[in-house]
């Protein structure tokens, strides 16, 4: 077990390179199950969620060869099992993509119920199930397993209207529909950049998917996908996290390997707060030298302000002049981290999906915890901005989605270390929880 120790108060200066998008990678890797042949995938982020998914595919019989740190050859032609009931699957949310991919390829799937970040409530998959059922599958949840089957071994094209805009359901139904007989039309879909990326990946292997990035996706079933080469887009949320970090600490940061258009929803808010952002072709120069100003924000599906940036933005709003109102429009309960900010001197009141944030002069270092991936990133930002020393436990959440976060921050002047938690202290924590 490890924790981060941050000595805050240093402006960030220099360059940081953004990795491949986590939420694209965790869909594209299971999507390789649909491909007959080798997929060479580039720009794969080195994060624990990806490692876990690659291990799951290996256990199912896939052959995976590392070309370099961010490039893999994945060949799933040898996979015969439709069963993915592994303990590791219960730890990641994206394991739900194995349902769509297996169902699409074999007409059946038995997959452990997905886990992942817990925002305090249930994370339902009813829209995924509704779509699979409309395509002719029977889907049951038994003993923590999602069991899906088709009477004739095939899914059938149909029209599906999603009742809520869901990233996971959009991608999962796209995966399932690739080999369905006829055309599948999915309406009211999510439009996040990673949805377009998954569609581009599948199309580059021979699928016929149109409309990704709009409200309606049409998938015409094809017979076969063949191997090929694909490079994953840069991670919008990782880039946004570094933008929020330099907005909080002050300084000048060149953020490289981004698609600036994907960042507009985040850049706009930061500019309202007094951050200066210059756009290059595939980079952003982010500067903050004056005071941070208050703003209001509501999280929404893309192209709205992303929920996965809400904790990071709320954290820097704690240091802005005036009162800000943050409304969480996607998840029911995504403010668990606020208690940690209060320990550092923040002034935040949460009422349901709304947080009212009174700007304070400064935060002070404290021992705090990461309760989920983005909340963990927000705690790192809080530590970088605070005076004194902040110790963050629960960093395994952060490492699920941020490649080399410690090294990347050290390179731009942050005083952050990853240190072992002595066993005696771990035992004490376990006893306290027990
Ligand atoms: N929802 C339903 N029924 C469903 C599916 C979703 O009611 O069948 C609701 C959810 O409860 C939520 C809303 O719809 O209120 C949106 O959920 P969505 O399905 O879009 O979320 P997800 O696919 O489970 C992905 C990301 C999350 C990100 C959300 C929203 C992955 C692996 N995860 O989750 O990312 O917050 O979309 O953008 O892509 C993260 O990266 O830290 C993270 C949590």
β-bridge mates for residue 142, sequence order: 145
Going by C-alpha positions, the residue among 267, 245, 270, 177 that lies closest to residue 216 is: 177
Same domain, 76 and 198: yes
Q: Is the pTM of this model over 0.85?
A: yes
Q: How far apart are CA 248 and CA 380, in angstroms?
A: 11
Same domain, 246 and 391: yes
Listed residues 216, 231, 246: the one ending a domain = 231
Q: How far apart are CA 265 and CA 298, in angstroms?
A: 11
Please list every protein residue whose CB sits less than 6 Å from any atom of ligand 1: 23, 26, 93-94, 117, 123-128, 164, 166-169, 190, 307-308, 330-331, 373-374, 401
Same domain, 375 and 387: yes
CATH of the domain at 36: 3.65.10.10
Q: Are 73 and 262 in contact (CB under 8 A)?
A: no
Q: How far is the CA of 317 from the centre of ligand 1 (A)?
A: 24
In tens digits, what is the pLDDT along the chain, a chain of 434 residues?
899 999 999 999 999 999 999 999 999 999 999 999 999 999 999 999 999 999 999 999 999 999 999 999 999 999 998 887 667 777 777 789 999 999 999 999 999 877 655 554 557 899 999 999 999 999 998 888 889 999 999 999 999 999 999 999 999 999 999 999 999 999 999 999 999 999 999 999 999 999 999 999 999 999 999 999 999 999 999 999 999 999 999 999 999 999 999 999 999 999 999 999 999 999 999 999 999 999 999 999 999 999 999 999 999 999 999 999 999 999 998 999 999 999 999 999 999 999 999 999 999 999 999 999 999 999 999 999 999 999 999 999 999 999 999 999 999 999 999 999 887 665 544 333 32
Tokens of 331: 């998840």
Listed residues 184, 214, 231: the one ending a domain = 231
Exposure of 226 by Cβ count < 10 A (0-12 exposed, 13-18 middle, 19+ buried)?
exposed
pLDDT at 434: 27
E strand or H helix at 118 = none
Measured at the alpha carbon of residue 71, what is the angle toward residues 67 and 77, in degrees to the nearest 5? 80
Same domain, 223 and 242: no
Same domain, 258 and 269: yes
Q: How far is the CA of 168 from the centre of ligand 1 (A)?
A: 6
Residue spans of alpha helices (H) in 185-324 = 193-204, 236-249, 264-272, 310-317
Same domain, 277 and 184: no
Q: How far apart are CA 285 and CA 363, in angstroms?
A: 26
Listed residues 215, 231, 247: the one ending a domain = 231
Residue nearest to atom 43 of ligand 1 (CA): 308
User: For residue 308, what is the DSSP state?
Assistant: G
Going by C-alpha positions, the residue among 164, 181, 156, 201 that lies closest to residue 30 is: 201
Phi-psi region of 26 (alpha: psi -120 to 50; beta: other; left: phi over 0): alpha
User: For residue 214, what is the DSSP state?
Assistant: B
Q: How far is the CA of 166 from the centre of ligand 1 (A)?
A: 6
Going by C-alpha positions, the residue among 244, 314, 254, 299 that lies closest to residue 275 is: 244
Tokens of 182: 């006829």
Same domain, 204 and 217: yes
Other beta carbons within 10 angstroms of residue 278's beta carbon come to 11
Same domain, 222 and 316: no
pLDDT at 423: 72
Structural domain including 88 reads 22-231
Same domain, 209 and 261: no
Same domain, 308 and 387: yes
Going by C-alpha positions, the residue among 125, 72, 64, 70 that lies closest to residue 94 is: 125
**Where in the sequence numbering do the catalytic residues fall?**
117
Domain count, the chain: 2
β-bridge mates for residue 145, sequence order: 112, 142
Same domain, 221 and 280: no
Ligand 1 binding pocket mutation candidate from 100, 118, 123, 312 (most atoms within 8 A of CB): 123
Same domain, 201 and 247: no
């Amino acid at each position: 077990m490890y924790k981060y120790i941050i000595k805050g108060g240093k402006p960030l200066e220099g360059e940081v390179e953004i990795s491949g998008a986590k939420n694209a990678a965790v869909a594209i890797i299971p999507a390789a199950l649909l491909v007959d042949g080798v997929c060479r995938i580039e720009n794969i982020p080195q994060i624990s969620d990806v490692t876990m998914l690659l291990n799951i595919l290996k256990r199912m019989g896939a052959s995976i060869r590392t070309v370099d740190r961010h490039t893999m050859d994945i060949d799933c032609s040898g996979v015969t099992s439709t069963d993915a009931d592994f303990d590791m699957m219960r730890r990641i949310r994206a394991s739900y993509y194995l349902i769509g991919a297996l169902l699409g390829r074999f007409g059946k799937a038995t997959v452990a119920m997905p886990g992942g970040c817990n925002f305090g409530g249930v994370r339902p998959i009813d829209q995924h199930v509704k779509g699979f059922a409309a395509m002719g599958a029977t889907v049951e949840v038994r003993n923590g397993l999602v069991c899906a089957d088709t009477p004739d071994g095939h899914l059938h094209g149909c029209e599906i209207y999603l009742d809520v805009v869901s990233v996971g359901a959009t991608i999962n139904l796209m995966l399932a529909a690739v080999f369905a007989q006829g055309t599948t039309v999915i309406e009211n879909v999510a439009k996040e950049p990673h949805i377009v990326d998954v569609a581009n990946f599948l199309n580059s292997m021979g699928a016929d998917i149109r409309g990704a990035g709009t409200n309606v996706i049409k998938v015409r079933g094809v017979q076969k996908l063949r191997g090929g080469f694909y490079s994953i887009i840069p991670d919008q949320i990782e880039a946004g996290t570094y933008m929020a970090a330099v907005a909080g600490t002050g300084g000048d940061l060149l953020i490289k390997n981004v698609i600036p258009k994907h960042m507009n929803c985040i850049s706009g808010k930061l500019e309202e707060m007094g951050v200066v952002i210059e756009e290059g072709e595939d980079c952003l120069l982010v500067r903050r030298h004056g005071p941070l100003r208050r703003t209001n924000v509501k999280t929404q599906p893309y192209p709205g302000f992303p929920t996965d940036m809400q904790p990071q933005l709320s954290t820097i709003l704690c240091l802005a002049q005036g009162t800000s109102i943050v409304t969480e429009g996607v998840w029911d309960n995504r403010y668990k981290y606020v208690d940690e900010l209060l320990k550092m001197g923040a002034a935040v009141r949460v009422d349901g999906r709304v947080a009212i944030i009174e700007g304070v002069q400064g935060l002070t270092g404290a021992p705090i915890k990461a309760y989920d991936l983005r909340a963990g990133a927000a705690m790192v930002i809080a530590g970088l901005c605070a005076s004194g020393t902040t110790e963050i436990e629960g960093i395994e959440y952060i490492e699920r989605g941020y490649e080399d976060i410690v090294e990347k921050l050290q390179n731009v002047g942050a005083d952050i270390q990853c240190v072992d938690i002595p066993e005696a202290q771990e035992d004490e924590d376990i006893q306290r929880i027990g």
